Amino acid sequence: MEFKVFTLNCWGLAVVSKNRRHRMQAIAEKLATSQYDVVCLQEIWLDSDYQLIRNKVSGVLPYSHYFYSGVTGSGVCILSRHPMEDVFFHQWPVNGYIHKIHHGDWFGGKGVGLCKLKVNNYTVNVYSAHLHAEYDRNCDEYQAHRVLQSFDTAQFIQMTSGDADLVVLAGDLNTEPGDLAYRIMLSVPGLVDAFGEAGETVQNCVATNESLTNSYTPVALLKKNIPGKRIDYIMYHPGSSLQIDLKSYTLPLPHKIPGCAYSYSDHEAIAATLIVTKSEIRSLKSDQHMKKTVLEESIEICDDALRGLNNHKYLYWFFTFVLIVLLVTTLATDLPFGYNLNFIYHILKILITLFMFYTLMMATIWNKIERHAVIAGKLGMETALRKLKAKDL
């Protein structure tokens, strides 16, 4: 059988995302005339946008599920031509910081969504994820979070796909080919990158974000003629008695919405058609050396993150002590500026108190939560690494 997959980060932030309403309408209309088996969308942050797309495509994709999570929702939804037998959402234990409001990943309660489909008597597990964004490649404070999210997703796929005839992972993974998070996705669960299987025929389909043909790519990047980056993926692997061949890999949407001067999103959609055939019973082989390498690198990243958390804890404790001293000083002394500034002096004391509680929380509760999440991920990596090394003995 043929199995057609589509994925797109829709850039659906309220207020912030440009031309959002019209773009969502255009995405819905495009999908309503499609013949995909499954569609994975990310950054559908508003329930109204999800309902719009869901209702518009119901004729060709009658089954749908939105993975509600966090404050704003995960932004991830899956629409399918085939019945959904089971759905499940696994939220990642580390996902940015609550005080980094301008980044906002924490508020999405991000994770990986699973829809188990029944397709012509085959069981197909479709996973969709949207990893933490990389805001500064030269100084990436979220590298450990993204590595842990990647390993968590890889483990989740391994542990839930035992009875699946076909496994598909589609979404914005916010990691470029060759990055550690990307290599974890391939090596740990044994997935195949559809782009890599397509070979030389898709060299013009490399950039899925900040593409030179996308209307939302910053002008500064266009002037430098930077070709963009590939951070959106369709990955897959077959069950033990099936063979999967890639028929096509494309960027299916036009550069611009017809009749408009802007694109469907700041990302490019990707689509892949897989050919599923029965084969002799075989065991799936994976590159054990690569798996060991990525696990060792991941453990090092976790160790660096734990050292950083320890330093942050002492730094926040220091600020807490300074703020306590300032607060006690303001409470124990008379108003030094005269009674005309009494209001401002009280505001200052309130601000000192608020900052003190913030630094205290970061030194204790938040530090402990993140530390435990990193340790949990590291222990999982060490267990997987020990298992691989035991096989070599």
**Mind telling me the catalytic residues?**
267
**Which residues, other chains included, contact 51 with Cβ-Cβ below 8 Å and sequence gap of 6+?**
none
The secondary structure element, H or E, covering residue 359 is: helix 342-363
Give the CA dihedral 195, 251, 14, 24, nearest 10 degrees: -140
78-111 in b/e form (b: 16+ CB < 10 A) is bbbbbebeeeebbbbbbbbbeeeeeeebbbbbbb
Token pair, residue 231, equals 């951070």
In angstroms, the CA 75 to CA 323 distance is 38
355-383 in b/e form (b: 16+ CB < 10 A) is bbebbbebbeebbeebbebbeebbebbee
Token pair, residue 75, equals 């932004």
Query: How far is CA 207 from its chain centroid?
Result: 17
10 Å CB burial of residue 204 (0-12, 13-18, 19+) is: exposed
